[in-house]
């Protein structure tokens, strides 16, 4: 005969209240600096903004030396002048003067910390418009390395990409919806990365002045052996706990946005960009038991080149070379407080309130992520289907 055990009564524990955020088209550069809350409490990870102040300053980021982009840029400028003749347009320094928009001013990104007063009289940017491919958006992200990023509206010109929700043919309607506040924002997570040389247990302000600045990475930070014939030996720590010693061609720490880039080609998982997480993906590891990991966004990672490593490691941030890590050097990676607010084709109805709550009101359109992984990646398409048999 079995005796029934009486379990103690469980008391309910109230969950902490989550902050509801509403990203304003002008909020990302309001004073004081805006606060982006993690996690975002929005249906499908999207948030609605309310245009509490007019859009006055727009940064145009384009793919250089492309005739199609030049023609599209001219159309965008005409439409913006039609909506508001007093809008100030800016272009960034990598664009040659011949490719610059007409009557536009040069944008000067600052590498100064937010607490450092700037002598520039440049007004805060309210909106970023990109014309090109996914690489153009990554470049736009790099222009805001030390602070919040304005909402980014991206147009493609026939190029396929995961970060291009709008085609240039829908430009007029998209701009009208943006200025009327009818679009939604998908905050795409970025990584904050910092290189720490050997011998520095913690970087003070004086020591930081001689080390590389903090990077804000949208896709991934990657360590690789480069041209060395030897594998890299690196120790990975998560929240100061030793996770593993990796012997591999390299390691990748990626965002959900970057899960469909370098990490995917190295066997990493596909993660929806609304998920707040960090991906650790090995590149050709010696051990077959080293599988990709998905970690919570609040994790703090440290990847240190082992003293016994026969090879140094080249470090890249979003595909840009950032330096070389020698034995004893390490890179610190954590979630950035400044995500990329990407304007998405997922529209919201005007009947919704301005608190960012999407539990009421009708959702218009749909998330294009499912469509993208099917069209761009051919997700789960069998070889038999491709042969036409």
**DSSP codes joined into one string, 27-81:** GGG-SS-----SS--SGGG-EE----S---EEEEEE-SS-HHHHHHHHHHHHHHH
pLDDT of residue 121: 65
pLDDT at 314 over 80: yes
Question: CA–CA distance from 107 to each of 59, 61, 62, 83, 240 (Å)?
Answer: 7, 10, 13, 22, 40
Band the pLDDT of 123: cuts 50, 70, 90: confident
By the 8 A CB rule, do 153 and 344 touch?
no
Question: CA–CA distance from 223 to each of 191, 226, 311 (Å)?
Answer: 15, 9, 11
Band the pLDDT of 147: cuts 50, 70, 90: confident
The string of pLDDT tens digits covering residues 224-277 is: 999 999 999 999 999 999 999 999 999 999 999 999 999 999 999 999 999 999
Active site residue 357: no
Half-sphere exposure of 273 (CA within 13 A, CB side): 26
One DSSP character per residue, 71-111 reads HHHHHHHHHHHHH-TT-EEEEETTS-GGGSPTT-EEE----
- The percentage of residues in the chain with a pLDDT greater than 70, rounded to a whole number, is 71
Count other Cβ atoms within 10 Å, centred on residue 139: 20
- Report the b/e string of 317-336 with b at 16+ CB within 10 A: bbeeebbebebebbbbbbbb
Count other Cβ atoms within 10 Å, centred on residue 174: 24
Separation CA 33–CA 108 (nearest Å): 19
More confident site: 298 or 181: 298
pLDDT of residue 108: 82
Provide the Cα torsion 373, 378, 379, 385; round to 10°: 150
- 66, 86, 99, 134: the active-site residue: 134
Separation CA 108–CA 105 (nearest Å): 9
Taking each helix axis as running N to C, give the angle between helix 171-180 and helix 67-83, from 0 to 180 degrees, rounded to the nearest 10: 40
The stretch 140-146 carries a mean pLDDT of: 90
pLDDT at 334 over 90: yes
Chain centroid to CA 257? 6
> If DSSP codes are grouped into helix, strand and coil, which group holds residue 153?
strand
Band the pLDDT of 26: cuts 50, 70, 90: very low
The stretch 111-137 carries a mean pLDDT of: 74
By the 8 A CB rule, do 10 and 269 touch?
no
The string of pLDDT tens digits covering residues 166-224 is: 889 999 999 999 988 888 889 999 999 999 998 876 655 444 444 446 899 999 999 99
Separation CA 118–CA 98 (nearest Å): 29
pLDDT of residue 1: 46
The string of pLDDT tens digits covering residues 345-374 is: 755 554 444 444 443 333 444 567 888 888
According to DSSP, residue 260 is labeled: G
pLDDT of residue 283: 96
Nearest by Cα to 95 from 125, 57, 140? 140
């Amino acid at each position: 005969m079995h005796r029934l055990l009486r379990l103690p009564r469980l008391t309910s524990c109230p969950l902490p209240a989550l902050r509801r955020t509403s990203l304003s088209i002008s909020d990302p550069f309001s004073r004081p600096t805006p606060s982006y809350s993690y996690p975002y409490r929005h249906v499908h990870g999207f948030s609605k903004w309310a245009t509490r102040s007019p859009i006055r300053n727009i940064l145009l980021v384009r793919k250089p030396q492309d005739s199609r982009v030049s023609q599209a840029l001219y159309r965008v400028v005409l439409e913006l002048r039609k909506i508001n003749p007093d809008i100030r347009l800016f272009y960034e320094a990598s664009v040659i003067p011949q490719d610059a928009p007409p009557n536009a001013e040069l944008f000067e990104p600052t590498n100064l910390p937010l607490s450092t007063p700037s002598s520039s009289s440049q007004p805060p940017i309210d909106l970023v418009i990109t014309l090109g491919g996914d690489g153009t958006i990554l470049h736009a992200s790099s222009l805001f390395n030390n602070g919040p990023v304005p909402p980014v509206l991206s147009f493609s010109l026939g190029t396929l990409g995961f970060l291009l929700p709008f085609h240039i043919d829908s430009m007029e309607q998209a701009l009208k919806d943006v200025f009327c506040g009818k679009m939604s924002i998908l905050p795409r997570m970025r990584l904050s990365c910092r290189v720490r040389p050997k011998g520095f247990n913690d970087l003070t302000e004086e020591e930081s002045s001689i080390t590389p600045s903090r990077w804000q990475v949208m896709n991934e930070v990657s360590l690789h052996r480069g041209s060395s014939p030897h594998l890299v030996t690196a120790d990975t720590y998560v929240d100061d706990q030793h996770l593993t010693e990796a012997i591999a061609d390299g390691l990748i720490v990626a965002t959900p946005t970057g899960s469909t880039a370098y990490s995917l080609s190295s066997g990493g998982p596909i993660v929806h960009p609304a998920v707040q997480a960090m991906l650790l993906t090995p590149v050709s590891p010696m051990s077959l038991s080293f599988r990709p990991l998905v970690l919570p966004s609040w994790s703090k990672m440290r990847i240190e080149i082992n003293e016994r490593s026969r090879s140094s490691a080249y470090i890249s941030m979003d595909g840009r070379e950032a330096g070389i890590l020698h034995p004893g050097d390490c890179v610190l990676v954590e979630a950035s407080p400044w995500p990329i607010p990407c304007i998405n084709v997922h529209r919201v109805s005007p009947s919704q309130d301005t608190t960012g709550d999407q539990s009421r009101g009708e959702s218009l359109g749909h998330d294009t992520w499912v469509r993208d992984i099917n069209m761009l990646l051919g997700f789960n398409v069998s070889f038999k289907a491709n042969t036409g048999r």
